[in-house]
Structure 1
Amino acid sequence: MWKPDEVVPQHKRRAVALWAILIGGIIFYSSYLLHKAVRKRDAPESSIELSNTVFEYPDIWVCLYADYGCDELELEEECMTSATANMTGWGNSSAVYYPGGEYEQEIHVEGRETPDHGWCVEFQTSKITRFLGEERDASRFLDHLLLDMYWYPGGLETDSTTCVIEGWKTHNQWMYVFLNDPALGQVSTRVPVPYSCITNVSSSHSFTYVGIGLTTEIKLGQEPIVSNKALSVSTATVKHEVNPAIVKPYAQLSLQVQQAPNSHECITEVDPLDLAEMFGNVGGFWDLLMIIWPIFFVAASRQDPHLKPRNFKESVTKGLSGLRIGDSKHPAARDGFNGSPSVEERPNWEQEGKKEVVELPYPAEKQKIPFRPV
């Protein structure tokens, strides 16, 4: 559509100049929007969404290191074996999902040597499939995992130098728990948790709560990055009776692992190159140009000769004439269909050639007498 052709000849030169400037402005504005969007793709904005959807649990690795659950570096494999073979005699290393409820599930436990984290006890909690993808319900208060592990810090053959009634060697009485994603084959988080040394005089042990979450990062032009994390860690103390029958002290780890509320986080990069929005901005500018163009120039096209201009006063007068009910006796004058000017009706005595018949009450025998009004 070449708008300068629609103006009067004396304005055409100015119209062409203005039209060229406006078209150039639209092209420049479109190029600027495109360049700005491409530059923003290097560091795009992100949107964060939190949901309360149940996601897949990661596998839990409890790794035994020297001074972190095991007395010596050479004893790490024996420490792991004592845990998986349940050799302490006072408890089995196990994990239970939804303990004591109708959805209770026993978790498989095995020992393994990991490439980067040494000898670990693996709890295959990724096998939990209950409620996956559903909204977390607060009434399901058993929707968590209880994990207990028992082992000898001194290995299978020797007595421990750290887990004793008194005179222990300097050590760290905590160990590391890792959250491993089996589908991606990567370890996301390392969580330090305390453990307890149980002897024949012990009357308590530590109990640790770990709230976990899942973060999914969706980047432009890349595969999603999924990582598990520990959102909260807190430890309490459980009191129990003293067991004088314990001959060889052992270590105990007690955990409760649970998905925290609103713990599924999705971080999505927003693509700044939105062509629909870009064309919408340009289209709005074009519509504005079409609206304001007649303000600057007079259109050369004439009005259709078949269209008569409307006279407002005559239209109103014509419409109101139909509302004058009672001003005249003639139906045509009341309805006003033919649009002819109204004619005032004169009295009968002013109309020539008309006579009126008058009835006289007297004499008794009525007679009709022609009478012309004076």
Structure 2
Amino acid sequence: MDPVPLLQALIRCPSVTPADAGALSVLEAALQPLGFACTRLRFGPEGEEVENLFARRGTGSPHLCFAGHTDVVPPGDLASWTADPFAAEIRDGLVMGRGATDMKGGIAAWIAAIASLPRDLPGSLSLLITGDEEGPSVDGTVKVLSWMAENGQIPDVCVVGEPTSRAVLGDTIKIGRRGSLNAAITLHGVQGHAAYPQRADNPVHRLVRVLHRLTAQPLDSGSEWFEPSTLQVTSVDVGNPATNVIPGTARAKLNIRFNDLHSSTSLIALLRAALDAEEARYELDTVCSGESFLTSPGPFVDALVAATRAEAGVTPKLDTGGGTSDARFITRYCPVAELGAVGATMHKADESTPVEELRALARLYAGVIRRLTAG
């Protein structure tokens, strides 16, 4: 099977999160002739359900799962595109379109890889495909994994097809990700006239001191597999149109990307300590979209490295950088790593993937499947 026509069919489904737009039907049509039993899983409020797909062939061990997503980010300003983002035009050896790289190309390459291999591979293969990765990630992979656990479908290992490569195919495998914590601070003072500060309590000054405490020193200097954690102030808002009024409230938002030296719990305690030092009334709201995780090098990672060397001709760097992915949910159930295409154009106008690179990715994935199903 050539992955190019399959990728084109997927791109022509304008599946901007959370719309499916027929993308999962395209996958079912490709997988069922290969012997996969396909199960549609719909989660979310009535009338707003997110479409997901679980497909499996075989029942034995080892059970290898591929995880990916068919939803894409919006194309943005169409005037910035030189091709229709959902036409899947091939131009100068490139498949053009939203999702070509992130990550419909990876899905097409994995299915093409399966099609190139014998049906009697040891163990079993499955695919976990969500339509809710680029969005809130509430009704996608998290709930599919819960369903898989309830139905005895948890794999032994999982490969996520995110576009991890930086310059050439296979140069990077992600074996972990940093955690991400968002925080919103509301700090209260006493409103008053700017000419009589002794009669007021300026929360802006207090907030500035809090933010200084949090940013004056690095959180850490990194660990064996992770770069240093970072704390970024993303917003400071007083909402005060007057020049002669000390406001009563000041707000700030921040994001912390953290390594395995921290947890969301320890970082929330750090934030509270900086706020408590002001002895002022405050509210702190936090949302952790994922803890840091690491899949330590071992047989699973070694097999991915060996396949990449053999099929792509490069020795990959084992990396934990970048943002978050659905691997942060999968790691709760089984070892997981990410390996995929070069991500140079993901989320950009004129997103594209080279035809020959897509075919090379299919060959790389075939090598991965052979090694990981050998037991």
Confirm or deny a common fold (TM above 0.5): no
Higher normalized strand content (fraction of residues):
1
TM (norm. structure 1) is 0.21
Report the TM-score when normalising by structure 2.
0.21
Bigger relative CO (Cα 8 Å, ≥ 6 apart)? 2
Q: Judging by fraction of residues, say which structure has more helix.
A: 2
